[in-house]
A and B are shown apart, each in its own frame.
Chain A
Amino acid sequence: MKIKSTVAISDNGFLFDPTTGDSYTTNPVAREIIFLMKENLQADQIKSAILEKYEVDELTLEKNLIDFYSMLHHFNLTDAN
C-alpha cells in the first residue's frame, strides 16, 4: 500500500490532502509509519522497523497496522494500486 504522493505531512504529524482539502492529525507512531510509507518501504519493512524500535508483540502490531492501513484507505489517502 502506498500513500498518495500528493499527501503532505509535516514534522509535527499534521497531514494535508491537497486534492480534497482534508487535514488530519496523527500521533507520533502514525506519523512515523506515514514517513516510512513516503520512503516507499513495503509493509513488512515497516513492520520490522516498528518492531525494532518499540516494545510490542508482532501480533498486536500486525492487527494495529491493518487497522491503520484500512483507515488510510477509508480516508482515500492511498493510491489505488
Chain B
Amino acid sequence: MRINRMGKQLHIAVTGLNNTDNPGPGVPVIRGIRESSGLDVRIIGLAYENLEPGIYMPGITDKTYLIPYPSSGTKVFIDRILEIHEKERLDLIIPNFDAELFTFIKSADLLYSHGIRTYLPTLEQFEERNKINLPAFGKKYGIKVPDSREVVNEKDISAIMEEFEFPVMVKGKFYDAWLAYNKEQISGYFHKIASKWGLPVILQQYIRGTEVNAVALGDGTGRTVAAVSMRKQFITDKGKAWSGITILDPEMAEITRDMISHTKWRGGMELEMIKTSSAEYYLIEINPRIPAWVYLAVGAGQNIPEALVKLSLGMEVPAMDTYQPGKMFIRYSWDLLGDIGQFEQITMNGEL
C-alpha cells in the first residue's frame, strides 16, 4: 500500500538543491524519498539561486520554485512559502540549510496552522548545539569537545591565542572552517568568514585524528530511530566529503544514541567527531539537519528521509538497528545540459 493523504499524493517541499562541490542535502533527501516503495509523493523543490543543479536534474523535483533568502526577513520568506502552498498544497517541508532552520523552527506553528508540517528540533535544541555553545553542550552531556572561543573583534585574537596552540581552526557560525598556522592567517580567515557569515567567528582547538561522522534521526522522545556512521575517505579543499564509507564503530554509535536520548532530539542530525590515535572521541560539530551524504545511509539500509517523512505524518516508525558496513559513496561531476528556456522560466517566473 502506498502512503498518501486521504487518497491524494503527499506534496513534500525540499530545499538544498545546490548539488555543487559544497553540496546541499536536498537532492540525496529526495532520492531517499523517491526510493521509498511506500510513499506516493510529489516533490516540490525550493531553490535560492536559479543555477542550483537540482532544479534541472531529471527525476529529482516535479516542480521547483525560487524562494528569497531568510535574510530578506521572516515575513517575506514565509509569505513566499504560503504563496507556493496555495498552488501546491504542501503537506511537509524538509529544510536542509543551517541558515534557514531558525526561520523554519520559529514559523513551525504558523506553517502547521496552514496544514504544512515540519519535523525539526526545538529552538532550545537548535540553540544548545550551536557552535558557539558547544563547550557548554559538551560539559552538560559529558562529551569531549575541543576548547573554543568566540571572536567578534580582530583585536581579541592575540589575547585568545595566548590560551591556544597552533594550528587552530577558524570557523563561521554556520559554515566554513579553515586551519590557521599563525596569527596572520587567523586574521585573514576572520575577515573572510565574517564578511560571508557574520559574527561571531569561532576559534577552535585543532584535534588531530580521523574524522568520523554519524547521521541520525530522533523522534523527540529520546529514541534513536536511525543512525549510520561514516568515515570520510576523500575530502575536498572545502572540507567536504567527496568519498566516504560506512563503518560499524560501537563507541560512535553509543555516543550518537546517548546524545539523542539526553537531548530528546527531534529530526535529522549529523554528528561530526574526531577520533584520535588513542581512540578518544571529540565532538567538533552538530549539524541540526540531514547531511548531504545521507544517500549513503539509504544505500546501507537505513532510509532516513523516508523515516522522517513518516514520523512527520505521525506514523509509527520502528528503530532501524542495523546497516551494511563497507558501503561507499564517491561523488562525481557531470555536465548536465539544459536549455535557455528553462533558465528563462525559473528566472522570470520564479518556477520551473
Q: Is the interface of B mostly helix, strand, loop or mixed?
A: strand
Compute how far the CA of A18 lies from the CA of B250 in the bound complex, rounded to whole angstroms: 11
Does any Cβ of A come within 8 Å of B248's Cβ?
Answer: yes
Interface residues of A in 1-40 (CB under 8 A from B): 6, 8, 16, 18-21
Does the CB pair A20–B247 fall under 8 Å?
Answer: yes
Taken together as a complex, chains A and B put the C-alpha atoms of A6 and B250 apart, in Å, by: 12
Q: Which of B316-336 contact A (CB under 8 A)?
A: 325-326
> Is the C-beta of B280 less than 8 angstroms from some C-beta in chain A?
no
Residues of B within 8 A of A21 (CB): 230-231, 233, 245-247, 326
List the A residue with the shortest CB-CB distance to B230.
Answer: A21
**How distant is the Cα of A12 from the Cα of B249 in the complex, in angstroms?**
25
A16 neighbours in B (Cβ, 8 Å): 326
Q: How many residues of B contact A (CB 8 A)?
A: 12
Within the complex, the shortest CB–CB distance from B293 to chain A, in Å, comes to 13
Interface residues of B in 190-240 (CB under 8 A from A): 210, 230-231, 233
Task: Let me know if B326 and A6 touch, CB within 8 A.
Answer: no
Docked pose: A8 CA to B247 CA in angstroms: 13
Instruction: Output the nearest chain A residue to B210 by Cβ-Cβ distance.
Output: A20
Pairwise interchain contact A20-B326, C-beta atoms closer than 8 A: no
Residue of A nearest to B328 (CB): A21
* Choice from B210, B233, B325 contacting A18 with Cβ under 8 Å: B325
- Whether the pair A19, B326 counts as a contact (CB closer than 8 A) is no
A12 to B329, CA, bound (A): 23
Residues of chain B within 8 A of A18, CB atoms compared:
247-248, 325-326
Contact of A6 among B233, B245, B248 (CB under 8 A): B248
Bound form: Cα–Cα A8–B245 in Å = 15
Nearest CB of chain B from residue A75's CB, rounded to whole Å: 12
* A-B residue pairs in contact (CB < 8 Å), sample of 7: A18-B248, A18-B325, A18-B326, A19-B248, A19-B250, A20-B210, A21-B230
Interface positions of A (Cβ within 8 A of B): 6, 8, 16, 18-21
**Interface on B for A, CB 8 Å cutoff?**
210, 230-231, 233, 245-250, 325-326
